[in-house]
Amino acid sequence: MMKRFISSILLLTSLLATCKAQAQGITLTPKWTAQAQFAGYYAADKLGFYKEEGIDVRVQHPAISESSFSFMEKGRALVVVMNLSYAFMERLAGARVVNVMQTSQENSLMLISHSPLTGAKSLQKQKIAVWNHLSQKLLDQLALHYNLKQVEWIRFNSGVNIFLSRAADPCLVGSYNEYIQLSEYGMNVDSIYSIRLADYGYNLPEDGLYVSEEFYIQYPEIVHKLVKASIRGWTWVNEHQEEALDMVMEEVKRNNVGTNRYHQRRMLEEVLRLQMDRQSRQRTYRLSREGFEQAVKILTPAGTNASSIRYEDFVK
């Protein structure tokens, strides 16, 4: 009888905690400012998919100088979008983050240059422009993976001006953003040299949804509902791209982001392409064991126990 009473109290406490989390709402923070890269979450919000699951989700973007992880770390967001590489490095550093959904299945990173690129050997002793939000630990692992010697990393926030002005060369860009901007700025992209890192042994999946392990353990049903609605949002976007772009343009206007519909359309097309698995050509919305193991192989620093993070613990 006493055991049944205690079980009832625990169940009631759990239900009250869940209701409290639902009532307070959930902040979902993308990893960058408003753009088509996050269209699925806009759609799930604006079309009421989250509300149909009984959860109140608010999409809040970080500033250019902020990381989505910092929002989670400071308690400003319960759910964040992060690259697998970023999340994995933070997990190695002790942050208990878990992957609950994976949109990207193919890496978007490219190196572009005004001079011929012939693999890693052409990058030795170069000044390579990279985004500010990439951690030094990640860059160190990239240098180790490609055996790069005496490389100087030049930091920049966004855009392609650093490349166009030749302030740094080569330059790291994304296939769904900066690479597209080059042609929009009037450059003949066939006149520059480029390589996709995915074709050179660095095909790490990128965007995924992450929550803290504590939040997942406390509210697995809420997380499940959020993932279900988010997948529904992305599925709708793939089937209604022009209507989705209407939502994107509303969002960029609300966040005072300078862009145009043409660029956002091309971005969305490439983002949706990167969501498909290379072999199956399907969108699984799940981080595969192969993708995780590649992250372990490339990103685990020398001297660190590679088995310290298990797939079953990292992917929920």
Tell me what pLDDT residue 2 has: 37
| Element containing residue 29 per DSSP (H, E) | strand 26-29
pLDDT at 23 over 60: no
Tell me what pLDDT residue 189 has: 84
Q: 295 pLDDT band (50/70/90 cuts)?
A: very high
Widest Cα–Cα separation across the chain: 79
Tell me what pLDDT residue 21 has: 52
Q: Are strands 79-83 and 207-212 parallel, antiparallel or unpaired?
A: antiparallel
Q: What angle do CA 275, 278, 284 make, to 5 degrees?
A: 45
pLDDT at 12 over 60: no
Tokens at residue 160, please? 């392609």
CA distance 54 to 149: 53
Mean pLDDT of 102-115: 94
**CB atoms closer than 10 angstroms to residue 201:** 13
Helix (H, G, I), strand (E, B) or coil at 113: strand
User: Torsion-angle region of residue 71: left (phi > 0), alpha (psi -120 to 50) or beta?
Assistant: alpha
Asked if 112 and 185 count as a contact pair (C-beta separation under 8 A), the reply is no
pTM of the model: 0.88
Q: Which of 283, 278, 280 is nearest to 294 (CA)?
A: 278
CA distance 84 to 90: 10
CA distance 69 to 210: 9
Write out pLDDT tens, residues 119-162: 788 888 889 999 887 888 888 888 888 888 888 999 988 888 89
Q: Which of 217, 190, 206 is nearest to 271 (CA)?
A: 206
Mean pLDDT of 8-37: 65
The residues, ordered by sequence, that sit 6+ positions from 17 with a Cβ below 8 Å of its Cβ are: 218, 219
Q: 11 pLDDT band (50/70/90 cuts)?
A: very low
Q: Which domains does the chain have, with CATH numbers?
A: 17-106+205-314 (3.40.190.10), 109-200 (3.40.190.10)
The residues, ordered by sequence, that sit 6+ positions from 123 with a Cβ below 8 Å of its Cβ are: 111, 117, 146, 148, 151, 170
Write out pLDDT tens, residues 223-236: 999 999 999 999 99
Asked if 274 and 175 count as a contact pair (C-beta separation under 8 A), the reply is yes
